Amino acid sequence: MDDLQHLKEEFEKLFGKPSALTYFCPGRVNLLGEHIDYNGGLVMPCAITLGTYLLVAPNNDGVIRFRSLNFPNKVDVAINSHLNRDTLMWFSSPMGVLHYLAADGNALQQGYDLLYYGNLPVGLSSSASIEMVTAFAFNELLEAGYEKLALVKMTMKVENDYIGVTSGLIDQFSVAFGESEKALVINCNTFTYQAVPLNLGEYCLAIINSNRPGNVAESKYNERVAQCRQALKYLQQQLPITVLCDIDTETLMEYKYLIKDEVLLKRARYVVEENDRVKAAALLLEQDNLKAFGELMYRSHLSLKELYEVSGIELDTIAEYSRFYKGVIGARMTGAGFGGCAIALVKEDSFDSYKADLTSYYTELIGYPPTVYRSAIGPGVGRLVNPVATI
Ligand code: GLA
């Protein structure tokens, strides 16, 4: 299905004409720096080679036709109108993008036929990916002239205000700015970043979808955001800080008496320690010290489990099994937590046995299998090919 030719054939079948342009936006994994983006610190994601494809052709019907190979429901809307937001569907987020583009003076002058296809497992920013691929494509099609950072902010607005899901900026930022074989170190206070070489050498990146059913992440996510705000408020009684990541672990320990609540202190400790870990990790990658970097991944997982409490038996099983598997040098949950995915750095020649052994261990313990992928670290959003459409 990732075969572009096949996607083009599907487009022709659906719309009776060839597509004009093909865009791709990756998903992301967070290597380190989890739950830091809304605490104004440093995060370390990278873009992967799984993501969302968008095939586009203009039409003369004044209609936008949204189609997906992943979802059966489809919709046709007159240009520059939008659906009732109460009925959220897969096409709500791309519609949100068109909504904000129009609100900012970039109304559509003609209709478009759109076909989406995504191959991202849960939790690897599929919604940021679908939003960003739409924003990038229409920025080009309408010659709107936004810089990538403006697209990041616009797609965040879609997520937070249009869809109504609280999130930081890490997802949209990394799928926009990702670079092949580089990790990004993003400063969530200043919206600036640095691309650090991620030389995997004889290792590869394994992505393990826990396949845990249900979704508690959203409510727990909002709870963590609120807890961090509260911890910050306590610290602000004595410290002139605006975000938790303005302080390091040492300062937190000095002022921890300000945070009377034990749970809030655990949350704050996790945040400042993880922020410190990202700083240390960036130096390790510069020095090509992948093993020590992997060690920080394990520590990050443990801290997410014990201090931030956003893991679960499924993600813990993956991280802990990986830790003792020969050929694996680092593993942790990635994303918001509870369910979703974990990542591991696995020796290339151990990947197949790791995949088989982890699958049988996990299945026996959890009752259903995980899905294990291998991914390269790829570039951010872009246009793939450029054949001319005839309409
Ligand atoms: C979700 C959010 C991100 C980030 C991560 C946790 O993916 O969308 O902004 O907060 O959780 O690191």
Q: What is the mean pLDDT of the chain?
A: 94
Ligand 1 midpoint to CA 138 (Å): 25
Looking at residue 388, what is its pLDDT?
Answer: 42
Give the pLDDT confidence of 245-296 residue by residue, as tens digits: 999 999 999 999 999 999 999 999 999 999 999 999 999 999 999 999 999 9
CB 274 within 8 A of CB 266: no
Tell me the pLDDT band of 2, cut-offs 50, 70 and 90: low
Residue 171 annotated among the catalytic residues of the structure: yes
CB 304 within 8 A of CB 310: yes
Cα dihedral value 143, 163, 305, 343, nearest 10: -40
Give me the amino acid identity at 81: S
CB 334 within 8 A of CB 308: no
CB 115 within 8 A of CB 7: yes
Whole-angstrom distance, CA of residue 269 vs CA of residue 248: 9
Give the pLDDT confidence of 56-76 residue by residue, as tens digits: 999 999 999 999 999 999 999
Residues with CB under 6 A from ligand 1: 30, 34-35, 37-38, 167-168, 170-171, 335-336
Is the confidence at residue 81, as pLDDT, over 50? yes
Ligand 1 midpoint to CA 141 (Å): 30
Q: Which residues, in sequence order, are CB contacts of 219 under 8 Å at separation 6+?
A: none
Looking at residue 84, what is its pLDDT?
Answer: 63
Is the confidence at residue 5, as pLDDT, over 60? yes
Cα dihedral value 81, 83, 85, 88, nearest 10: -140
Whole-angstrom distance, CA of residue 4 vs CA of residue 218: 34
CB 31 within 8 A of CB 282: no
Looking at residue 83, what is its pLDDT?
Answer: 64
Picking from 368, 365, 360, 306, the residue whose alpha carbon sits closest to that of residue 333 is: 306
Give the pLDDT confidence of 137-176 residue by residue, as tens digits: 999 999 999 999 999 999 999 999 999 888 888 999 999 9
Tell me the pLDDT band of 391, cut-offs 50, 70 and 90: very low
Q: Which residues, in sequence order, are CB contacts of 360 under 8 Å at separation 6+?
A: none
Burial 225-254 (b: 16+ CB within 10 A, else e): bebbebbbebbeeeeeeebbbbbebeebee
Tell me the pLDDT band of 311, cut-offs 50, 70 and 90: very high
Q: What atom in ligand 1 is closest to the CA of residue 123?
A: 7
Ligand 1 mutation target, pool 31, 35, 188, most atoms within 8 A of CB? 35
Give the pLDDT confidence of 193-231 residue by residue, as tens digits: 999 999 999 999 999 999 999 776 778 999 999 999 999
Looking at residue 85, what is its pLDDT?
Answer: 66
Give the pLDDT confidence of 374-384 residue by residue, as tens digits: 999 999 999 99
Q: Which residue minimizes the CA distance to atom 8 of ligand 1? A: 167
Residue 316, H or E segment: helix 313-323
Give the pLDDT confidence of 16-47 residue by residue, as tens digits: 999 999 999 999 999 999 999 999 999 999 99
Pairing of strands 63-68, 111-118: parallel
Pick the catalytic residue: 61, 76, 104, 171?
A: 171
- 45-49, 85-89, 320-324, 336-340: which range is least confident on average? 85-89
pTM of the model: 0.92
Q: Which residue minimizes the CA distance to atom 2 of ligand 1? A: 167
Task: Give φ, ψ of 101 to 5 degrees.
Answer: -60, -45
Ligand 1 midpoint to CA 37 (Å): 7
